[in-house]
Structures are given as structure tokens and as C-alpha cells.
Structure 1
Amino acid sequence: MAPFKSDDSATTGEAGDVRGGRRRAARYVVPVTVVGVAAATIGLVPAFAGSGDPDLPEVSAQELIEKIAASDVDQLSGTVKISTDLGLPDLGGLASGLGAGGGAGGDDGSTADPSARLTELATGTHTLRVAVDGPDKQKLSLLDEAAEYSVIHNGDDVWAYDSGSNEVYHATGGADGKDDAAPGTVPGNVPATPKELAEEALRAVDDTTSVTVDGTAQVAGRDAYKLLVEPRQAGSTVGAVSVAVDAETGLPLKFTLTPASGGAAVVDAGFTKVDFAAPSAATFDFTPPEGAKVTEAEELDTPDAGTHDSGQLPEPGEEFAQGAEGLKGMKVIGEGWSSIAAFDTGDEGLPTASSGEGGGDLDGFLNSLGDEVSGPFGSGTVFSTRLVNVLITDDGKAYAGAVTKEALVKAANTDR
């Protein structure tokens, strides 16, 4: 493996060696954006505020990345706080009005369906309680003031329970409880923990990326190193990604993504408590409460687009090959952190209330995000967040990426 340069910054060959065949950012970051996963994994408050600075032995960026890769922690329990600030307006009743198949409940859906409930992580601040005991036992609980929502994987069974509605979702799968699970099971690559978020960020490392060690911190009472990942390119809306890595185990304890525009982080996820002892076996037991409505996964109608036969979202890097099959003429413009996915929506522009199409909450939500633009490509609307932006032209072309509005317009102009 090639050593890092003296400034401890990962460059083309080095980053590729460290990750062992890591896909280029253009084949990962943009597809994730297109399928909406990015919205659930971006925008947390500053990660290391108020933390101590423990005195630890010096380590290079290469060594720290290797430490993360070698981490074999498979038993833990703890509490994770995750905050997401994409600058989106309040979704209000929009999400609940998208239909029962989206988790709104009713005769053909379930409020306990994980495929819909985990989208709550796309906005606001949430507290998660997590427990892991090897590959066959995991539990994630989303806590709020009035209720608790839990997803439990125990062997062949996946259970989800919404205490607020007293509804239960159940799916069964193969021996690993995941690969052969029924449609509607927990999406396998919707990150919710610092480790999952860090792994996704590191997959984007290539010659357009700088990787350095940025001192130390203390997270959840644990000494940690801070790994700093920064785009080298102009035009990206990503400012930097910070990962706090447990000095003893190599487990990422905190993840923060800050935007190039400055201000509060877009995503901040970190342990506030963590224990590496094996959780009690009873943690993963579940029996539907008396009177609860139980919905089996096969009873739900689930969308085919962007999913595997198992109901799982594609693994990182597979989005182009599989999710893009349903996107007409999908291609990538540019590379690295400034890459843009371009495709044909199949529609003549966007439906509007004045045209008699769309309308209602959805129309109002889209209009609140939209900014009309024009150029040699024609005219269209840019829908903006603090990280992910999408240009949809009036003739139905779409350009999406973690790039500025100006970069999208330039891409549309050169694409014609």
C-alpha cells in the first residue's frame, strides 16, 4: 500500500489502495442522491463541540483508515443522537398523505413499516437506542416524547413496532435475516449510525479528496481521533466530513457533514453513550402486544423501482447499474464530489397547480423549494437543499448532485 504524503493527505492512488478497489465518487455519491438516501444521511450539528482533547499517540490518515477497516466490534449497545438540517421546509402532513404504502397506515399499509418510518431521520433531531450482538441480532429504537418505534432483527425474523398506533410489522427471511427478507424489510443501506455514515463517506474518497487527521476528541466518554475528509474540487456543496474514531476499537463514534456554504452541519450523528459488552439476549425478543394490528410484509404493496427482489435498496455503487435502469438515458457529468447525474424524467416538465396536475400539499412543497432558472438549455426549476440540488428542465430532463445551482445550470447547458 502506498504511503500517504507528508501532509497526511490521501490522493489518487493512495486512497484507492486504502479502500481496496473503492468505487469512484461519481459512481456512489450521485446515485445515492438520486434514490433519496442522501437526504437521510446529511446535516448534523457540529460534532466535536465541548469535547475534550485527549493526548493520544500520533497516527497517520492511512493508519486511521486502516484502523476503521480492521474494526471488528460486533457487540455493543448505546444511544445515538442524530440531527439533520437540509434546510427543508416542515413536511407537515405531506409524508402522512403520501398513502398507506408509504407508512401512513390504513387498510393497505402499516405505520410500523420500516421503509417509511426511517425516512423521519431526513429532518430534525432524533434519539436512537441501538443494540447489536453479531450479524443475526440487531435492534434500533427511535424515541420521541410520546411514543417509541423499534425495529428488531433476530435470526430469520424482522419485527417493527409503533407504540403510538399499536401496530406491528413482521417479515421473515433467509438464514441471515436480511438477504432473502421479504419486500418492505428495513433498507440495508439507509445509514443511521456513525459507523454506517463513515463507511459511506470513505467510499467517496478518490483523487478529488483530501484526507487528514485533525486532532483528537472525546465522544461518549471514549478517546477518539478525528479524521477529516474534504473535497478538493470547486462546485461541491460538501464542505467537509469529520469522523471521530475510537482510539481503542477503531469504531466510528461520531460523524459530521458540514456544507460548503457554512453554518450548522447538515448531518451530525454520534454516540452519547456506548457500551461494548454483549447486550442481554432478551433485548432482541419480541412478542406482539395484545390487541396490536399485525401486518405481514407480503401483505403490503411495495414499489419495484430502486429495489432488489429482496426489497432492499441496492448496495453502495450498485445504484447506477440497478436503480438507473428505470431512469431514461442515465449518465454522469463530471467526476468526484462535483459529479452530476443526468437523466430523462419521462415527463414534460413538472406538474403544477395551474395546469390541473399535481397540486395539494405536494405541489406546495415543491414550489417552496423551487427556483426558476434559464440558459442555452432552455428553462427549468432548481430544487435546493443545503446539500443536494436538482434541476428539472421544462422538457423533462433532470440533473442532480451535491453541487451548486450554478454547476447544475452549467451541466445542462453543456449537455445540449
Structure 2
Amino acid sequence: MTRVWARWVPAVVAAVVIAGGTVAATAAPDVDLPDKSPREVLALVAGHSLDGFSGTVEKSTNLGLPELPVGADKFGGADVGSALDFLTGSHTARIFVDGHDKARVQVLDQLAERDVVVNGQDVWLYDSSKATAVHLTVPEKDATGDHAGDYSPADLADKLLDHVTPSTEVTVGEDTSVAGRDAYELVLTPRTSETLVEQISIAVDAETGLPLAVTVEADGQDDPAIEVAFTSLTIGAPPADTFAFTPPEGTDVTEHALPEKSGPPAEHPMPQVSGSDWTTVLEFPAGTAPAELTNSPVWAELTSPVAEGQLLSTSLLNVLVTHDGRVFVGAVPAEVLQAAAAG
């Protein structure tokens, strides 16, 4: 748990960008919560034990990508279209959680929906627009863990601050309200100008410690790059049948069994890492970027030619695919990626 928290702030911002974001929390003048220090708010988050809840989440992403022609997301295959879908626009999702092994996310598209359902060892991925489903059987979890429960919330907050404060200023902003619930605003500001991230704000439920909203601001952009928030939230376990999924008649079902963990597969090598914290750059070997993407008209529309290859530049993330097929990714200025590629 501590390792996850310590790495989340600077490193996972790239993954957050890819996955999308949503509606922001705003300061609420009528909310007046007891004062808390950053350490106390972090302890509130670290100590939350909310096992069951359901709600609606709104997502909005503004990364400054150029507007594509109508139908451009159809070029290059379904994966390209899905990636573009996550990188642009707004979406609504319904989320249901019951403990650590039951969850359901319904992404509500126009006249369709996509579902991810986790029910113990059964995992379903369903797309109603394509009438397809993938069923995964997950191996039983190892009974041993990293003993995160040995630490109190205060211990976890201290460890997080120890990891974060050298690279990040952590403050508490104005009291706010999200989905009708009072919340503290935790503000994370990079201590470096060598990143595209200006700051990240997290609304933390004052009663339960559950994060209710995340807003990511990009340097030099007026509108938030990513906004994610609950618009409604119900505390308590959802009905048991929420997680019982049966594909509708006529659905094309693909069965998969996941192998027991034994290290990363050889066909998916780990990236090389340079820089640290907010200035981290990931380098993936040649062949990582699928040809259906880099050879598609969409890629040509989204990228610009540079000396090292093709550059996809957004307000919060830059991606460089070199002439020899290597891929460099980071929430850093483009010239940092170009220097890494040249080096």
C-alpha cells in the first residue's frame, strides 16, 4: 500500500491521462470543516475502510489534441479508436464496489454500454455495441501480502509525505463539496518546472476518507486537462446480483484463463526509466507501438515530424516514436524526450 501511494503522485499521472478524467470539485462557501494539516488529510485517506459503495462518475478530458475529421477514430482498428475515445471528450460511468473482490464499472456510451465486472475469480469485459464479451478466470490470490495493515493511517501518511515532499509541495486547499458530500481538498504541486503538470487536486470525503474527485491542471492551459468526480454516491454494499453477469443472447464470448504470476512475460519487456518523480521518462523498445497505430491516418493527423521520429504532443503528456521504433513517454516537455532518444 505504501509503495503504491508513494509512486502514484508523480508516476501514475501518465496512466491517468491515458485513462481519462472528469467533472471537477469546486470550492463550496457553505462548507466549513474543522482544519486539518496535509498529514491529517493523508491519514484520513490512508485509513478509509469503506468496503461498499455505488455511484455515478463523470469524466472530461481536454489535452489540446487537434480536432479530427468525423469518423477518423475508425481508422487503424478498434484499439486506435478506443485510445482516442479515452483521450478526448466526456463520458459517464456507473461504479459499484463491494469489498476487494467485487466491482462493476459501466461506461455509458450513446445507445450502448461497456462493462467490466469482477466477481471473485470471474472477470467479464462486455461491449454491447459489438455484442462481444471476454471472460477471464483469475487465479486464486496468494494468502500472503505485504502486511500493509501493520501500519496505522498516521504511519502511512508519514511515509507518503516522506516520499512525496522532496518533489512535491502538499497543501490543503479550500473546503469543497462533491456529490453532496463535504470534502477536504488536497493539493499536490510539483517542485520543478521540468514537467507539464501544474498541480493535482484531490477532493477527500471528510467522513469516510474516500477520494471523490481528481483534477489535473496542465502548465499553460486555462481549462483543466483532466477532471474526474462522483456526481452521485451511495454508501453501502450494492445488491449481490449487481455482480452476477450473464452475456445477453447472441453475444460472442471469448474464454481466457490467466496464468499464475511468474514475472513479466518476455514479449512485454519492462521499459527503461530515466529521470525521477515528475520528470520520469519511460523508454520502450522497438516494436512496442503497434503498426496499426503508427501506420494509420489518425497517427499522421495527431503527430508532428521531428528529427528523431513522430511526436504526439498534448498539454499533459508527450509521446515520441523514433524512426527505429522505440517509444518515449513522459509528462515532460518534448525536448526532454528528444534528448533521451538522441542519448
Q: How does 1:311-390 map to 2 (within 5 A)?
A: 322=264, 326=268, 331-342=272-283, 344-345=285-286, 362-374=295-307, 379-390=308-319
Quote the offset at 1:24 in angstroms.
Answer: 6.8
Structure 1 residue aligned with 2:46: 69
Quote the offset at 1:137 in angstroms.
Answer: 1.6
Quote the offset at 1:167 in angstroms.
Answer: 3.0
Matched-pair identity in %: 38
CA contact (8 A) 2:10 2:277 kept: no
CA contact (8 A) 2:9 2:164 kept: no
Could you tell me how far apart the structure 2 residues matched to 1:125 and 1:310 are? 36
Quote the offset at 1:225 in angstroms.
Answer: 0.2
Structure 2 residue aligned with 1:190: none
Q: How does 1:24-63 map to 2 (within 5 A)?
A: 29=11, 33=14, 37-42=15-20, 44=22, 47-49=24-26, 51-63=28-40
Q: How does 1:223-302 map to 2 (within 5 A)?
A: 223-297=182-256
Structure 1 residue aligned with 2:154: none
CA contact (8 A) 2:22 2:58 kept: no
Structure 2 residue aligned with 1:83: 60
TM-score, L = length of structure 2: 0.79
CA separation of 1:403 and 1:215: change in aligned 2, threshold 3 A: same
Quote the offset at 1:282 in angstroms.
Answer: 1.9
Residue aligned with 1:149, SS: strand
CA contact (8 A) 2:196 2:218 kept: yes
CA separation of 1:324 and 1:72: change in aligned 2, threshold 3 A: farther
Quote the offset at 1:53 in angstroms.
Answer: 4.7
Provide Cα deviations, 1:134-187, integer angstroms capped at 9, x if missing partner: 1222111111231222222222222233333333332222345x99xxxxxxxx
CA separation of 1:43 and 1:277: change in aligned 2, threshold 3 A: closer
CA contact (8 A) 1:79 1:130 kept: yes
Quote the offset at 1:403 in angstroms.
Answer: 0.6
CA contact (8 A) 1:71 1:251 kept: yes
CA contact (8 A) 1:331 1:341 kept: yes
TM-score, L = length of structure 1: 0.66
1:405 maps onto 2:334 in alignment: yes
Could you tell me which amino acid in structure 2 is paired with residue 247 of structure 1?
A
Could you tell me how far apart the structure 1 residues matched to 2:32 and 2:340 are? 47
CA contact (8 A) 2:76 2:298 kept: no
Could you tell me how far apart the structure 2 residues matched to 1:22 and 1:75 are? 21
Structure 2 residue aligned with 1:304: none
Could you tell me how far apart the structure 1 residues matched to 2:97 and 2:317 are? 31
Instruction: Point out where structure 1 has 5 or more consecutive residues left out of the alignment.
Output: 1-18, 105-116, 180-200, 299-307, 315-320, 352-357
CA separation of 1:294 and 1:24: change in aligned 2, threshold 3 A: closer
Cα RMSD (Å)? 3.9
CA separation of 1:277 and 1:52: change in aligned 2, threshold 3 A: farther
Quote the offset at 1:203 in angstroms.
Answer: 11
CA separation of 1:153 and 1:62: change in aligned 2, threshold 3 A: same
Could you tell me how far apart the structure 1 residues matched to 2:231 and 2:9 are? 33
1:168 maps onto 2:133 in alignment: yes
Provide Cα deviations, 1:337-387, integer angstroms capped at 9, x if missing partner: 12223455269xx99xxxxxx69994422222333344xxxx443321121
Could you tell me how far apart the structure 1 residues matched to 2:162 and 2:10 are? 8
Could you tell me how far apart the structure 2 residues matched to 1:285 and 1:77 are? 16
